[in-house]
Amino acid sequence: MTRSPASGPEILTFGEAMALFIAETSGDLADVERFQRRIAGADTNVAIGLSRLGFNVGWLSRIGDDSFGTFIRRTLEAEGLDCRHLKVDPEHPTGLMFKERALGGADPRTEYFRRGSAASHLTTEDAGSVDFSALRHLHATGIPPAISASSRELFQHLLERARAAGASISFDPNLRPSLWESETVMRETLNDLASRADWVLPGLAEGRLLTGYETAYDIAGFYLDQGAKAVIIKLGPEGSYYRGTLGGQEEEASVPGFPVAEVIDTVGAGDAFAVGVVSALLDGRSPQEAARRGNLIGSLAVQVLGDMEGLPSRARLDALEAELTV
């Protein structure tokens, strides 16, 4: 059923968006004089990707009463996001992120200036105006519960309300160990939150750290035992792995990745994968087809500079998928 935008977004995402500055030249950030301004945030990457595919996506967060916050709002609204739940915090600043220009497909080094940011002061009150009856799906990552205790409470509140409203829930751990007080707290908190999701989307290394298991099969089994319906694990260039239960029967599959001639920027690849998986499942595709679409959009993301610049429109995605079926 298509809902009126007036009743609220059908998909809700939340977390922290930051102003991103990408070095124009390679080398140590201390030596770089010029940067390109973009926006960054795992949660907003997914929100933008789903919006480009035609979904009605809402963004819940806080920004500072500053030029960077204005820039973020304008960028998200230009991408079609519903920002009715994006509040201006006059007392705390918008977070910033700086990223080096890496060469040869290496993971770029990043530096964050987000401690005490507006988004770190998110609370359950920020969800007071959300119309959960209009909600079809909630996408969450492990970043909001890491940035502050009050944001962690908001995360739990949104999961509970979304579940009570009958919305589906996807969860990408998106580990940020430096934001947590300890690895133990990180592991226990994220595994508890993942147990409330329908679709869990860890990377293989993340799954190993969070569960203590080594193989994709056992990592998926851990989350299925906790209550997940499907676990789709990112395997990098090799593709992805799916394990879940459909129609009362358990299924599993390894889905190969798509070759890429040149990797330009790896940041955002996991978020692009989540866009592919979540969009496909919401489109009614099988988990294997969802994993394949995740691999496809992930391969697009690493071929361009920026966290979300490679995310396709629905028309481009349809064309690419049609080529693959020929």
pLDDT at 146: 95
Catalytic status, residue 271: yes
What is the per-residue pLDDT across 232-259, written as a single tens digit (0 to 9) for each? 999 999 999 999 986 677 899 999 999 9
The tens place of each residue's pLDDT in the chain, 326 residues long, gives 344 456 689 999 999 999 999 999 999 999 999 999 999 999 999 999 999 999 999 999 999 999 999 999 999 999 999 999 999 999 999 999 999 988 877 788 889 999 999 999 999 999 999 999 999 999 999 999 999 999 999 999 999 999 999 999 999 999 999 999 999 999 999 999 999 999 999 999 999 999 999 999 999 999 999 999 999 999 999 999 999 986 677 899 999 999 988 888 788 899 999 999 999 999 999 999 999 999 999 999 988 877 788 999 999 999 999 998 75
| Structure tokens belonging to residue 272 | 């692009």
Catalytic residue among 82, 172, 271, 307: 271
Residue 128, class by beta-carbon neighbours within 10 Å (0-12 exposed, 13-18 middle, 19+ buried)? exposed
Residue found under tokens 């349809």: 318
Helix (H, G, I), strand (E, B) or coil at 38: strand
Residue found under tokens 């910033």: 96
Closest of 14, 11, 15, 17 to residue 57, by C-alpha: 11
Closest of 153, 157, 125 to residue 138, by C-alpha: 157
pLDDT at 205: 96
pLDDT at 247: 63
Helix (H, G, I), strand (E, B) or coil at 102: coil
* Predicted TM-score (pTM) of this structure: 0.93
38 CB neighbour count, 10 Å cutoff: 19
CA–chain centroid gap for 97, Å, is: 17
